[in-house]
Amino acid sequence: MAANGKPIRGRFAPTPSGRLHLGNALTALLAWLHIRSAGGEIVLRLEDLDRQRCKPELAGELPGELKWLGLDWDEGPDVGGPHAPYEQSRRTALYERVLDELQRQGRLYPCYCSRADLQAAASAPHGLDAEGPAYPGTCRRLTAAERTERALRKTPSLRFAMDEQANYRFHDGIAGETVFSGASGGDFVVRRADGIVAYQLAVVADDIEMEITDVLRGWDLLDSTPRQLALYEALGSPPPRFAHSPLLLGADGSRLSKRHGAVSLPELRDRFGVRAERLVGFLAWLAGLCDRVEASRPADWIAAFDLASVRRQAVTLPDNWIDLLTGK
């Protein structure tokens, strides 16, 4: 049980814009172990709001890829549950209600800045790695007349006004004690000019409604946390406990991507004959859970799993990683 007496609940929330790769699989495995080792419930949610990037056929394949790895969940698109639907593209009514509440509080304002305006702000001294340069607050200071005039020329996005005097402190289950200034990333978009609700708002609205108590996700989202903490505070909801798993890097030290070769799960399975048990053992070794690669199932790690054992530093794939995966 969580500290408030509620059941421990975690989630996977992949974006179906590409096939699951090693980095996704590492995070999914650790998130699964984190919740299952505490006897908790897991939700599978598809973050498919950006319909231009997301592909329905990939959304249909994701559950199968996770199951091949040996992971399961208690609620999701394929099994249903009390918090359905589990695709963000079908949850827009919830997001509109949350936006209305933030509007009522006076926490949102229209932003008419173009992409060129935002690029010009790239010289700003502060920013968040996950979100780019800090927004300088240009449209926050517009008068009503200026907003009316700009609205004639451009459909605005909506930004959430951060408290620049606040400090957001939290204990990350892997990164440890963490603090961000409210001014470090600037005000952020919660609804784009094309009407698509932004990640920051959707993920908080979903995690509140789905009663998520624990979130383990990739390290690249660590500096998104203060923005989400600000939203939780504005919506009067306690935040979940956060943990951010290490990034997986290619042998050249850059973030793992297609240019590093066959890194998707289907490729590894179909092209190289990698078995799921070997992949799970490899991921456990990369995470720091063991000192050598041994074939195993996710369930084999539940009893001994401890977040304190997970590496804090980024993990670089060794040159012979394919041989380690295939057992050669």
* Set 55, 154, 258, 328: catalytic member: 258
Strand partners, 316: 249
Does the pLDDT value for residue 6 go beyond 90? no
Query: At a CB cut-off of 8 Å and minimum separation 6, what does 142 contact?
Result: 109, 112, 150
**C-alpha torsion 220→224→229→234, nearest 10:** -150
Return the sign of the alpha-carbon dihedral for residues 306, 307, 313, 319.
Answer: positive
Q: How confident is the model at residue 32 (pLDDT cuts 50, 70, 90)?
A: very high
- Separation between Cα atoms, residue 210 and residue 73, nearest integer Å: 14
Write out the two tokens for 321: 């990683």
Q: How confident is the model at residue 131 (pLDDT cuts 50, 70, 90)?
A: low
Does the pLDDT value for residue 259 go beyond 80? no
- Separation between Cα atoms, residue 43 and residue 74, nearest integer Å: 6
- Separation between Cα atoms, residue 294 and residue 164, nearest integer Å: 49
Angle, CA of 302, 308 and 312, to the nearest 5°: 115
Task: Assign 82 to helix, strand or coil.
Answer: coil
User: Mean pLDDT, to the nearest integer, of 266-284?
Assistant: 95
The pLDDT, as a whole number, for residue 115 is 79
State how far Cα 115 lies from the chain centre.
24
The pLDDT, as a whole number, for residue 130 is 60
Does the pLDDT value for residue 86 go beyond 80? yes
Write out the two tokens for 92: 């827009």
- Separation between Cα atoms, residue 131 and residue 198, nearest integer Å: 12
The pLDDT, as a whole number, for residue 60 is 87
- E-state strands within 246-324: 248-249, 315-316
User: Mean pLDDT, to the nearest integer, of 267-272?
Assistant: 92
pLDDT in tens, 157-180: 999 999 988 999 999 999 999 999
Q: How confident is the model at residue 132 (pLDDT cuts 50, 70, 90)?
A: low
Lowest-confidence segment of 69-73, 121-125, 290-294 by average pLDDT: 121-125
Q: Which domains does the chain have, with CATH numbers?
A: 9-88+246-326 (3.40.50.620), 92-200 (3.90.800.10)
Does the pLDDT value for residue 246 go beyond 60? yes
The pLDDT, as a whole number, for residue 2 is 57
Residue 87's nearest CA partner among 200, 210, 191, 188 is 210
Of these ranges, 48-52, 121-125, 242-246, 266-270, the one predicted with the greatest mean pLDDT is: 242-246
Does the pLDDT value for residue 19 go beyond 60? yes
Angle, CA of 163, 167 and 168, to the nearest 5°: 100
pLDDT in tens, 297-309: 999 999 999 999 9
- Quick check: is 154 catalytic? no
The pLDDT, as a whole number, for residue 54 is 82
pTM of this prediction?
Answer: 0.93
Q: How confident is the model at residue 102 (pLDDT cuts 50, 70, 90)?
A: very high
User: Mean pLDDT, to the nearest integer, of 292-301?
Assistant: 96
Omega of the bond prior to 85 within 30 degrees of 0, cis? yes
State how far Cα 270 lies from the chain centre.
28
Lowest-confidence segment of 185-199, 257-271, 291-305 by average pLDDT: 257-271
* For the chain, percent of residues with pLDDT exceeding 90: 74
Q: How confident is the model at residue 123 (pLDDT cuts 50, 70, 90)?
A: low
User: Mean pLDDT, to the nearest integer, of 100-118?
Assistant: 92
pLDDT in tens, 39-59: 999 999 999 998 778 888 888
- Each residue of 266-282: b (16+ CB within 10 Å) or e? eebbeeeebebbbbbbb
The pLDDT, as a whole number, for residue 59 is 83
Task: Assign 97 to helix, strand or coil.
Answer: helix
When the pLDDT of each residue in the chain is averaged and rounded to a whole number, the result is 91
Does the pLDDT value for residue 26 go beyond 70? yes
